[in-house]
Structure 1
Amino acid sequence: MRIVVSGTHASGKSTLISDFASRHPEYEVLGDPFEELADEGYVDLDAALFRAQLEIAALRLEEAAEGSNVIAERGPMDFVAYLEALDRLGRRGRSSVSSRAGLARAEAVADRIDLWVLLPLDDGDPIAVGEDEDPELRAAMNDALLDLADEAGPTGATVVELTGGPKARLVMLERAVAPSPRSKSQSESAGI
């Protein structure tokens, strides 16, 4: 199963993925695309940075074979949401052009996702962030991501929104990944 865990920065993605991977070693973990850009000299949270990460996220999905067990921190839609957030905040730059191109790129690989996990900001389990984390951009990206999920989510993928603390989110993710009794009985009756 190819899983993408999406959410704004400091929303609990890394914790959820780490907790899941420790219980499911059969899954390959694909870290945040930003990690691949750490030495590239990006210093600002701008359209160029988000567009580069979008491309990394899209390429990783293209490389993940159908039927492989992969859990990725962020997918292309995360970075479309960041580009949309820049627009909403009036931090335009090249973001509006990048946003349209990014959405087309994200939609082109959407069929490579089996399970899209959304981690919206949750007042019930707030993660405190400092001013250096750009809380305004964080909130705007969260809203843009949820809008995109409603408007342009991956077709054919199961989409789940997980809220609550780390333990509750892990339980919900494991339920989403577990085969349903119906699909198991269908597999058994098909001789699989």
Structure 2
Amino acid sequence: MAKRQSHPETGMAPKAEQILQGAIEEFLAHGFAATSMDRVAKTAGVSKATLYNHFGDKESLFSALTEYLGEKRILDFVIEEPEDPAIFLKTWATAIFNQILNDPELLCFLRLIIGESGRFPELAQAFIRNVVKVGINRLTKSLESYPQLRLADAEVTARVIMGALLHYLLIQEIMHGEEIMPMERDRYIEGLVKLVITD
């Protein structure tokens, strides 16, 4: 019997989404340090009072932005969980890649987080908390629904899979290593699935 991998709705008000869209434009254009709440309010077309009413400070705004991007543009997919776990893993990994690699703004946002994480570690922590951890938790639950895999630790396996996907994105796309270390995406996914599912 097929099961569905669900994800919660953010339940965010349209005005808050408007602010977050203005925020990502400003963060990408000027970086975290140089972006002011005044700039965000102007770009989003809202008053400063409205901005502060929704997000109390810049750090809270950035954290909310990572959560929003995670739910709406990275983890925003629902897939069937077929009886064959190999098919599920291939579909899941492909969906993650498609969500990110088909969204140039997301790739720029990931570069921003990495570039700013030395001075502002809380930015990277917000991404890990709101995107990576959520993705790993969901994948762990899905892996646990396949007892035939006989995994010693489903969470460790989910972390390995997520880590492998992030490695591909980091080397191939974010750090522009595609010409130096070329790797076809489907080949990478196929190999990853075979590491997890052995005959």
State the TM-score, normalizing by the size of structure 2.
0.32
Higher Rg: 2
State the TM-score, normalizing by the size of structure 1.
0.33
Question: Quick one: higher RCO (CA 8 Å, sep 6+), 1 or 2?
Answer: 1
More strand by share: 1
